[in-house]
Structure 1
């Protein structure tokens, strides 16, 4: 069968159009996952916990067991009602233990704890590298007022290296004759990607908190949420992020000046 030049041109045009259609279909399939990811971004700044590291074998303690001489302000409460020393950090449950773990993007982060004790007893904050070597250790001055406190790693202290994990401890010695009441966990410094960096540079405080929540950057999220609470106590950002990691009983506790 012979094909005229005009018919050949029509066939070529059809094939070209078909190729464009196929390319368009492939492009749509490429874009679908991106749209699905965007639809999964948590609303209202709720924390989007990243996957836990698989190669950390040491568990942590988000909540201290016992008081060991430390007195609480709510003496009328039973032992089951009393609140314990608590680290404001997410936990990942495993069959035998829990991993206390969060991410930061900065070299000198701030750590947050709830201290229920009416005491000015000696306390200390300790930071170790993965080899168990102490890279920072400092006494902590408690104010004697129960509440949420923050402990910042000074700019003159050891700098967290990107990609490395560190084991921290917060110890309170209410009774010198007994071991300390303590909590401990892990922190890892990560490098934010270019998209996040650009977004953070242009973001308001509220927008930064939402970005940290979306990208699973815990320590900066707590800092931003605490600042939002300080600026407007009626905001619920602070309560939302604590509730999202199971710290419901801490949401109403005051943030107190402490630990400089």
Structure 2
């Protein structure tokens, strides 16, 4: 069922422009009502923190996922103290479920015993309007010696895309030399060779780090919404990066919000305003412990 259009104002630029998102997910305030902002509402106020508004997860499909990896594997060179982590919202469903992920994990080359145990049903889910979005992960292992893999499944757990990550980057200005103590947050973007995410469709993904035959992994779901309305897309083109990030965050579009702020922070790590925005966003989804981890210019799908 399609939800009514959401209407927002993007600071002084958006004057009640319709989002144009017509899928079954939406961002709401604490009362359950859709959020509205009048034009110029923030004009005379200090910059408000960028906080993410959780969308409503899809009703179809089984909730679940794993935002943090399990115990560190023996042959991994551990450069960081935090676990393997997907930078993605976690929804607490308030119940316990049998994850029953053995079949799914076997397709992703993961047979971790921990994945089949009964555990808290945290729904690891994010929303995007992009056909080939970026995913962000904190990797505590040496990027010099660890093999990384990304797997994308459809709603029936059929493998749509699976590939190893290259430690190279297309950024000509990159000076990365990965040594034994390299660890941090990486960005990976679905390449043109990967199938485009279809609107109003939910997908299942895995990110795996191989140190032995049994990898460590994180997993979650992502759904693609219908594209933004023409008016909203045109207004975003003339908005500042911060206004764009605020708009995406208020509309529950995680991939767009995280990628915009993450790329700005990686390129301007000494800018205090950008740092505050990065910290505020991660804090709003309980990932503030990662806000000071380095953002590495790595990696790409091979």
Specify which of 206, 216, 220 is matched with residue 256 of structure 2.
220
**2:217 aligned with 1:182:** yes
SS of alignment partner, residue 198 of structure 1: helix
- What's 1:84 paired with? 83
- Name 1:156's counterpart in structure 2: 193
1:130 aligns to what SS in structure 2? Answer: coil
CA RMSD of superposed structures (Å): 2.3
Q: 5+ residue gaps in structure 1? A: 1-33, 75-81
Quote the Cα distance in structure 1 between the aligned partners of 2:183 and 2:266. 17
* Distance in 2 between residues matched to 1:184 and 1:164, nearest whole Å: 17
Paired with 1:128 and 1:196, the residues of 2 have a C-alpha distance of 31
Q: 2:226 aligns with which of 184, 191, 194?
A: 191
Structure with more helix by fraction: 1
Secondary structure of the structure 2 residue equivalent to 1:59: coil
Find the counterpart in structure 2 of residue 123 from structure 1.
148
SS in 1 for 2:36: helix
Corresponding position of 1:71: 77
Provide the aligned length of Structure 1 versus Structure 2.
Answer: 218
CA distance in 1, matches of 2:78, 2:261: 26
TM-score (normalised: structure 1): 0.77
Indicate if the aligned counterparts of 2:154 and 2:202 stay in contact, CA closer than 8 A: yes
Whole-angstrom CA distance in 2 between matches of 1:256 and 1:239: 17
SS of the residue 2:49 aligns to? helix
Measured against aligned partners, the alpha-carbon deviations of 1:128-167 in whole angstroms (never above 9, x if no partner) come to 0101111111111354520000111002321111111110
1:245 aligned partner: 285
| Residue pair 1:110, 1:150 contacting (<8 A) in 2 also | yes
How far apart are 1:108 and its partner, in Å? Answer: 0.7
User: Quick one: distance in 2 between partners of 1:54 and 1:84?
Assistant: 30
Q: Which residue of 2 aligns with 1:21?
A: none
Moved more, 45-54 or 209-218: 45-54
**Runs of 4 or more off by more than 4 Å in structure 1?**
39-42
